[in-house]
């Protein structure tokens, strides 16, 4: 087995490798999707490597122009053990500088010891999964709907109302070093989400109190992120209703929804379990020194 750069002729086999368990790699597969069809990112957007055994793909990874490394292996317990040993041989074939890596725990742990530089910070999560059949059959009357709450799709003109929530969400859940935080980054993230993702917002008594949306949209699965409720409106069932509506929208088109959540975020874990999510495996994000 050896790693090599993927070409257009590999696309159909690469999708056949990724899609049966797409929930493990939606940030990757979403970058192979153009207008609902499969397509490689351009060389200016990302580099893609595959590892084959005979004629079969055993593993793949993508490094985006933003420096995000996305590994995706077969998902079996032996997937990492059977890959080529020693230092990762394909690093020279990747075109961009590495800033972060995210993916299932087994893949990221295997790669961490084979990259040319060690991670500076690593955060571990639970990867949680939900499917259309379980959602449609679940009993949804366990949480009372808050009075006066409305949930709707957000659009570009809601940018100003949602920005304070986006900033607080990123400071609370995403930012590792607050001294390096930039509000401009939050602005860019929100603009991109409103343009390319499904974002829902909740309003109560004339103010925005919560939001949730997708952060990666694959072929059969969507990944959820950016779930946030303002501090003085928490524990009132608002997040449940926003997430419930978001899942209804997702499952109208897709088979699976997934998300990752910090292992110590007990409130979020409780919410997602009430909605029907299950913990599938570990997930990890590693950050490298710029």
The answer to whether residues 67 and 95 touch, using CB atoms and an 8 Å cutoff, is: no
Q: Is residue 1 over pLDDT 80?
A: no
Q: Is residue 100 over pLDDT 90?
A: yes
pLDDT tens string 167-197: 999 999 998 888 788 899 999 999 999 999 9
Question: Domains in the chain, start-ordered, CATH in brackets?
Answer: 2-118 (3.40.630), 129-281 (3.40.630.30)
Q: Mean of the pLDDT values across residues 201-207?
A: 95
Structure tokens given for 130: 């939900």
Q: Mean of the pLDDT values across residues 257-262?
A: 97
pLDDT tens string 209-233: 999 999 999 999 999 999 999 999 9
Predicted local confidence at residue 142, as pLDDT: 60
Q: Is residue 89 over pLDDT 80?
A: no
Q: Mean of the pLDDT values across residues 139-151?
A: 76
273 vs 266: CA distance, rounded Å: 10
């Amino acid at each position: 087995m050896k790693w090599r750069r993927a070409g257009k002729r590999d696309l159909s086999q690469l999708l056949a490798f990724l899609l049966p368990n797409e929930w493990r790699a939606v940030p990757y597969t979403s970058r192979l999707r153009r207008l609902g069809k499969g397509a490689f990112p351009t060389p200016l957007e990302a580099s893609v490597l595959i590892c084959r055994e005979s004629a079969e793909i055993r593993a793949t990874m993508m490094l985006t122009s933003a420096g995000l490394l996305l590994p995706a292996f077969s998902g079996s317990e032996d997937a990492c053990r059977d890959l080529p040993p020693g230092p990762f041989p394909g690093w020279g074939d990747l075109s961009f500088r590495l800033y972060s890596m995210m993916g299932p725990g087994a893949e990221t742990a295997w790669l961490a010891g084979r990259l040319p530089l060690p991670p500076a910070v690593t955060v571990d999560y639970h990867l949680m999964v939900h499917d259309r059949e379980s959602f449609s059959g679940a009993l949804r009357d366990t949480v009372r709907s808050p009075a006066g709450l409305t949930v709707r799709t957000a659009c570009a003109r809601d940018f100003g109302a949602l920005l304070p929530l986006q900033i607080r969400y990123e400071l609370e859940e995403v930012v590792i070093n607050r001294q390096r935080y930039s509000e401009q980054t939050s602005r860019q993230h929100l603009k991109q989400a409103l343009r390319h993702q499904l974002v829902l917002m909740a309003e109560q008594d004339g103010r925005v109190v919560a939001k949730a949306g997708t952060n990666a949209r694959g072929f059969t699965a969507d990944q959820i992120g950016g779930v946030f409720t303002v501090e003085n409106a928490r524990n009132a069932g608002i997040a449940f209703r926003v997430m419930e509506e978001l899942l209804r929208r997702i499952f109208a088109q897709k088979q699976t929804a997934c998300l990752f959540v910090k292992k110590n975020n007990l409130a979020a874990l409780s919410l997602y379990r009430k909605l029907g999510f299950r913990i599938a495996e570990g997930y990890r994000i590693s950050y490298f020194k710029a």
